[in-house]
Amino acid sequence: MKTIDIICPAYREEEVIGVFHERLAAVVEQLTDRYRLRVVYVVDPSPDRTEATLREVSARDARVNVIVMSRRFGHQAALIAGMDHSDGDAVIMLDTDLQHPPELIPALIERWEDGAEIVQTIRQDGAQTAFAKRLTSLLFYQTLLKVASIELTPGAADYRLISNRVVSVFRTRMREHNPFLRGLVSWVGFNVCFVPFVPAGRGHGRSKYGVSALINFALNGICSFSNLPLRLCIGAGFIIAVLSLLGASLQLLFYFLGSRVVPGWASLFMFGSFIGGIQLVFLGILGEYVSLIFDEVKDRPRYIINRLYESGRIISEQSLPDSAPCHGAPRDARGGATRSSVS
């Protein structure tokens, strides 16, 4: 019987987590005659009762494990942690805010059984999604398609199934400190198929991604897969330099022809301010790339685990590095996990 791990990141989902698990458990129950399914909730600590609720869920349902981070490391790190702690034949990842319908899971498994290594869901936003979100999402995907070195399907969501072969690549080779998983899943290749879905309305509360978080997410995605912004800096600098030389040449020509030269201090001031602003923008773009390099050079753990719950019991209360697995994985003679490594 094949094993499938379902990874569900959670942060401040107290109001909706119970309903989500009921729907997920109903889907899991339909599949237990063919598959061995485990549900792994990865919790970023929050001031509400998300962790306490999930501990109660774990006590009632032996298929549920709960990983609690030492602090908030973010959505992408939670998905990476879930993959690192999976030893199943496949992994399914979805959000817990009910916008990713658990009822789609059987369709994902069916495509996987047909031979797909990656089953990627495609979000089809309708009237239930705010116009501003639809517009910014469209702009982001169109920009990324034009500047990046990957073919990312517009609407690709962090709701997908990936086979153990793909998980192994992420566990052993893809160890970026600022992962953009939608791009990385597309970049690794393998046999991919797509399943469209219409997102439901958010169960309760608001999105945990504010404007600044969405901007950082977009910048990370673009800078991770494209060096075009750096080349645009070079191109813009070259064009401005040529225009400056042309302007100086015209001034000299007018001077030698004896034409009256208008002082133009206001124009000079505006041009100088424009050049200064362009330079600051260029420095910001360079700084974004240097920041990514800096994070890679520091090579800090991508996340740290504080607690693990199985059947409602704490099975670990120490700070574990991101190579530490759950499910009782075997360890080598040096005490390291034998099926998970950090590159």
Cβ neighbours, 10 Å, residue 47: 7
Give me the half-sphere count of Cα atoms (radius 13 Å) on the Cβ side of residue 128: 10
**Would you state the torsion angle of the CA atoms of residues 80, 198, 189, 298, taken in this order, to the nearest 10 degrees?**
-30
Is the pLDDT at 286 greater than 90? The verdict is no
Q: Look at residue 8 in the predicted model and tell me its pLDDT.
A: 93
- pLDDT mean across residues, the chain: 76
Residue 323, classed as helix, strand or coil, is coil
Range of lowest pLDDT (23-27, 83-87, 108-112, 291-295): 291-295
Please indicate, yes or no, whether the overall pTM of this predicted structure exceeds 0.95.
no
Q: The tokens of 162 are what?
A: 């990936």
Q: Look at residue 287 in the predicted model and tell me its pLDDT.
A: 75
Residue 270, classed as helix, strand or coil, is helix
pLDDT tens-digit readout, 9-33: 998 888 888 889 999 999 999 998 8
Q: The tokens of 294 are what?
A: 């800096």
pLDDT tens-digit readout, 36-80: 999 999 998 888 888 888 988 888 888 899 999 888 888 888 998
pLDDT tens-digit readout, 222-236: 666 666 676 677 777
Q: Look at residue 260 in the predicted model and tell me its pLDDT.
A: 59
Mean pLDDT of 108-114: 91
Residues in the chain: 343
Mean pLDDT of 193-206: 74
Q: Look at residue 203 in the predicted model and tell me its pLDDT.
A: 55
Distance, C-alpha 109 to centroid of its chain = 22
Residue 162: burial class (beta carbons within 10 Å; 0-12, 13-18, 19+): buried
Compute the distance between CA of residue 257 and CA of residue 241 in angstroms, rounded to an integer.
24
Q: Look at residue 131 in the predicted model and tell me its pLDDT.
A: 59
Q: The tokens of 236 are what?
A: 């813009």
